[in-house]
């Protein structure tokens, strides 16, 4: 059993690895978690706006993630889980906010009548989507992009007005570049299962076990008080004295005795095991002296710059009460915002009678217009879109701007093969492990899954 472990990065992945290790190895193993920032939590941040906790990084968790649930349950947060309020989300398409039709998995329509009724697509575009049912099987390359799966089956309107906004909302990415297998494995699997995606989706829905009370549990949930409850609980579990904040790792070297030394400006840390849980570009810098090829692969994962602006209004200042969780905007609409979450009508723990919070997302693959803007210009551009789309012209009484440059890793075509090669290159570097959103799943649930596997590998030594 290793007696000392250093984890570089106190984001959700690093903290989850440390938590699982603490649970598996007990207090005898010295675990030190370094982070460049003065606070732990990585992209999970929950500042207050108008007295309400606003998640400016991730704001929802994939409820079915088993390892994430294990963390939440083990940290005593189960009773803090909240489901979004009913009402659903919208897409800004063809001059109106239109409801996302039920059963649209990642923007792929399972039923066409609701799509036609929603007006999301033109009648011709809806008809073209229906051709999926009769078209012969599509020949696919080994690792197709999402676009290569969608366009031939459903046509370009489904791609432009349903799939691209939904993937833009989650990954800030372009479906033409993203690997279907790595980004939306369920869709990739469906495309390989049957000839028609619509018929395969129907079969899968019919075969899925029905919940006993006929109420489907929400796929995405949050925590009362915001998601930093989770990262803070992990810090408490590990022990705050195990954290070294404001300690950016600047070097990583293997000693003659096989142990690892991580260098920071404030000093160095030597341990039996080192886990690097930073974004891929930082991991690349740390691994460069150990394996130029591994560093090169890490640098092949591009990252997209995003930001969000949360605005606080009085309810009477909005043209109408908000019903629903928010909306997404397809790039073809040429707007500045990528989407908008109506926080106070989405989450029960934020609902109140005095304040309406609207969180607007900007930035996606190929669009970082926001980067050079100062906060005032960014807010102005966002508010111009809110006026067009929602008719909101009032001055917000408070606001919060969160910039996330280099934030969203893109699993582009070939990602899985690159990760296999990376694993093979890192394997001989005995005692060095990589984990986090850069590798095999970019959301919090996937980070928890990878963290548990990383901890298990260490515990098994």
Ligand X SMILES: Cc1cc2nc3c(=O)[nH]c(=O)nc-3n(C[C@H](O)[C@H](O)[C@H](O)COP(=O)(O)OP(=O)(O)OC[C@H]3O[C@@H](n4cnc5c(N)ncnc54)[C@H](O)[C@@H]3O)c2cc1C
The residues that touch ligand X, with contacts defined as CB under 6 A, are 8-14, 34-37, 42-43, 57-61, 248-249, 277-279, 282, 306, 404, 407-408, 436-437, 442-445, 447
Residue 338 and residue 169: Cα distance in Å, rounded? 7
How does DSSP assign 237-303, residue by residue? HH-GGGEETT----EEEE-TTS-EEEEETTEEEEESEEEE-S-HHHHHHHHTTT-HHHHHHHHTS-E
Rounded to the nearest whole angstrom, what is the least distance from the CB of residue 100 to ligand X in the complex? Answer: 17
Residue 23 neighbours by CB distance under 10 Å: 15
Rounded to the nearest whole angstrom, what is the least distance from the CB of residue 11 to ligand X in the complex? Answer: 2
Q: Which is nearer to ligand X, 179 or 228 (CB)?
A: 228
Rounded to the nearest whole angstrom, what is the least distance from the CB of residue 318 to ligand X in the complex? Answer: 24
Rounded to the nearest whole angstrom, what is the least distance from the CB of residue 183 to ligand X in the complex? Answer: 13
Rounded to the nearest whole angstrom, what is the least distance from the CB of residue 33 to ligand X in the complex? Answer: 9
Residue 97 neighbours by CB distance under 10 Å: 17
Residue 308 and residue 375: Cα distance in Å, rounded? 10
Residue 46 and residue 30: Cα distance in Å, rounded? 29
Rounded to the nearest whole angstrom, what is the least distance from the CB of residue 455 to ligand X in the complex? Answer: 14
Q: Which is nearer to ligand X, 392 or 445 (CB)?
A: 445
Pairing mode, if any, of strands 326-328 and 337-342? antiparallel
Q: Which is nearer to ligand X, 120 or 286 (CB)?
A: 286
Q: Which is nearer to ligand X, 42 or 155 (CB)?
A: 42
Q: Which is nearer to ligand X, 60 or 118 (CB)?
A: 60
Rounded to the nearest whole angstrom, what is the least distance from the CB of residue 408 to ligand X in the complex? Answer: 6
Among 5, 42, 52, which residue's Cα sits nearest to residue 25? 5
Rounded to the nearest whole angstrom, what is the least distance from the CB of residue 323 to ligand X in the complex? Answer: 21
Q: Which is nearer to ligand X, 101 or 443 (CB)?
A: 443
Rounded to the nearest whole angstrom, what is the least distance from the CB of residue 407 to ligand X in the complex? Answer: 4
Rounded to the nearest whole angstrom, what is the least distance from the CB of residue 256 to ligand X in the complex? Answer: 24
Residue 137 and residue 141: Cα distance in Å, rounded? 13
Task: Output the CA–CA distances (angstroms, integers) from residue 355 to 263, 310, 339, in the order listed.
Answer: 47, 12, 20
Which residues have CB under 8 Å from 7's CB, separation 6+? 14, 17, 18, 31, 32, 33, 34, 274, 275, 277
Q: Which is nearer to ligand X, 72 or 447 (CB)?
A: 447
Q: Which is nearer to ligand X, 193 or 250 (CB)?
A: 250
Contact 295, 338 (CB under 8 A): no
Residue 452 and residue 440: Cα distance in Å, rounded? 13
Q: Which residue of this chain has its Cβ atom nearest to ligand X in the complex?
A: 11
Angle, alpha carbons 357-165-383 (nearest 5°): 35
Q: What is the 3-state secondary structure (H, E, C) of 52-117?
A: EECCCCCCCEECCCHHHHHHHHHCCCHHHEECCCCCCEEEEECCEEEECCCCCECCECCCHHHHHH
Pairing mode, if any, of strands 356-362 and 303-313? antiparallel
Q: Which is nearer to ligand X, 318 or 447 (CB)?
A: 447
Q: Which is nearer to ligand X, 306 or 401 (CB)?
A: 306
């Amino acid at each position: 059993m290793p007696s000392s472990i250093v984890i570089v990065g106190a984001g959700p992945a690093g903290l989850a690895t440390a938590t699982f290790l603490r649970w598996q190895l007990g207090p005898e193993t010295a675990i030190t978690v370094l982070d460049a920032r003065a606070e732990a939590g990585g992209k999970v941040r929950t500042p207050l706006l108008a007295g309400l906790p606003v998640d400016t990084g991730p704001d929802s968790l994939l409820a079915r993630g088993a390892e994430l649930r294990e963390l939440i349950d083990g940290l005593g947060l189960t009773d803090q889980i909240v489901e979004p309020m009913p009402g659903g989300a919208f897409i800004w398409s063809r001059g109106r906010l239109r409801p996302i039709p039920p059963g649209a998995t990642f923007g792929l329509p399972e039923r066409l009548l609701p799509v036609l009724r929603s007006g999301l697509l033109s009648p011709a575009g809806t008809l073209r989507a229906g051709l999926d049912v009769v078209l012969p099987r599509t020949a696919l390359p080994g690792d197709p992009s999402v676009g290569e799966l969608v366009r031939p089956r459903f046509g370009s309107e489904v791609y432009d007005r349903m799939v691209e906004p939904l993937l833009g909302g989650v990954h800030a990415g372009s479906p033409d570049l993203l690997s279907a297998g790595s980004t939306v494995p369920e869709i990739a699997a469906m495309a390989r299962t049957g000839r028609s995606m619509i018929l395969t989706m129907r079969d899968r829905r019919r075969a899925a076990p029905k919940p006993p009370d006929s109420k489907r549990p929400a796929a995405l949930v949050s925590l009362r008080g915001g998601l930093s409850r989770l990262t803070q609980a992990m810090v408490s579990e590990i022990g705050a004295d195990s954290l070294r904040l404001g300690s950016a790792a600047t070097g990583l070297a293997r000693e003659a005795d096989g142990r690892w030394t991580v260098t920071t400006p404030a000093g160095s840390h030597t341990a039996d095991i080192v886990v690097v849980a930073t974004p891929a570009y930082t991991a690349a810098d740390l691994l460069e002296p150990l394996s130029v090829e591994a560093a090169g692969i890490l640098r092949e994962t591009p990252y997209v710059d995003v930001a969000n602006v949360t605005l606080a209004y009085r309810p009477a200042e909005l043209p109408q009460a908000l019903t629903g969780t928010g909306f997404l905007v397809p790039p073809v609409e040429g707007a500045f915002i990528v989407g908008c979450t109506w926080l106070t009508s989405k989450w029960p723990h934020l609902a109140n009678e005095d304040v309406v919070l609207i969180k607007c997302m900007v930035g996606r693959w190929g669009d970082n217009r926001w980067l050079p803007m100062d906060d005032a210009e960014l807010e102005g551009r966002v508010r111009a879109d809110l006026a067009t789309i929602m008719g909101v012209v009032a001055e917000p009484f408070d606001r919060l701007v969160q910039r996330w440059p280099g934030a969203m890793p893109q699993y582009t075509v070939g990602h899985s093969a690159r990760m296999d090669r990376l694993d093979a290159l890192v394997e001989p570097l005995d005692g060095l492990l990589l984990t986090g959103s850069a590798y095999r799943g970019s959301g919090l649930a996937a980070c928890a899954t990878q963290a548990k596997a990383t901890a298990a590998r260490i515990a098994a030594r």
